[in-house]
């Protein structure tokens, strides 16, 4: 039987950087944590942005470039969306989002402060590095 982990370091959904530290708070009579946190270590556990991404979201909308041809089928139905990401994200001001996207998409992006965009579409917009 493997030993349960007491601590885990999670990752930010948006940038992938280390985010929060999870600590076990309940232990059994032997001093072992009731929950094994090893499953959460180095994983994204929610869509709460890290401080850096929250600051970016205050400036504009985060666009995450993806390649849907390399994404797992059915990723849209998973608890956390996880398509194949192709590189860094871009932060675009709200007024630019309104000008370059259909109203429905722009409204969703501005409300949620992020959205996925196909890598080829990002290239056409001049967003790639």
Same-domain check for residues 71 and 112: yes
Q: Looking at the structure, tell me whether residues 65 and 29 fall in a common domain.
A: no
Residues 6+ apart with CB under 8 A from 35: 4, 24, 26
pLDDT of residue 109: 95
Q: What is the mean pLDDT of residues 47-63?
A: 96
73-119 tens-digit pLDDT: 554 555 556 788 888 889 999 999 999 999 999 999 999 999 999 88
- Residue 83 within any structural domain of the chain: yes
Give the number of domains in the chain: 2
SS3 of residue 27 by DSSP: strand
Per-residue model confidence as pLDDT tens digits over 11-28: 999 999 999 998 877 776
Residue range of the domain that includes 22? 7-40
Q: How far apart are CA 84 and CA 73, in angstroms?
A: 11
20 with 73, same domain: the answer is: no
Give the pLDDT confidence score for residue 33 in this predicted structure: 65
Q: Is residue 76 part of a domain?
A: yes
Statement to judge: residues 75 and 25 lie in one domain: no
Task: Give the integer Cα–Cα distance in Å for 55 and 62.
Answer: 11
* 14-31 CB burial, b ≥16 within 10 A, e <16: bbeeebeebebeeeeeee
Collect contacts of 33-37 with beta carbons under 8 A, ≥24 apart: 33/4, 33/5, 33/6, 35/4, 36/4, 36/5, 37/4, 37/5, 37/6, 37/7, 37/8
Structural domain includes residue 31: yes
Q: What is the pLDDT of residue 36?
A: 76
């Amino acid at each position: 039987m493997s030993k349960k982990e007491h601590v885990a370091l999670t990752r930010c959904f948006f940038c992938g950087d280390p985010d929060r530290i999870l600590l076990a708070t309940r232990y059994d009579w032997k001093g072992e944590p009731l929950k094994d946190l090893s499953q959460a270590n180095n994983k994204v556990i929610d869509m709460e942005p890290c401080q850096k991404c929250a600051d970016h979201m205050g400036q504009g909308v985060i666009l995450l470039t993806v390649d849907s041809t390399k994404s797992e089928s059915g990723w849209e139905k998973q608890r956390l969306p996880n398509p194949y990401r192709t590189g860094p994200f871009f932060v675009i001001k709200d007024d630019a989002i309104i000008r370059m996207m259909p109203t429905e998409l722009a409204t969703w992006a501005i409300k949620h402060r992020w959205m996925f965009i196909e890598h080829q579409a990002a290239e056409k917009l001049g967003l790639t590095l």
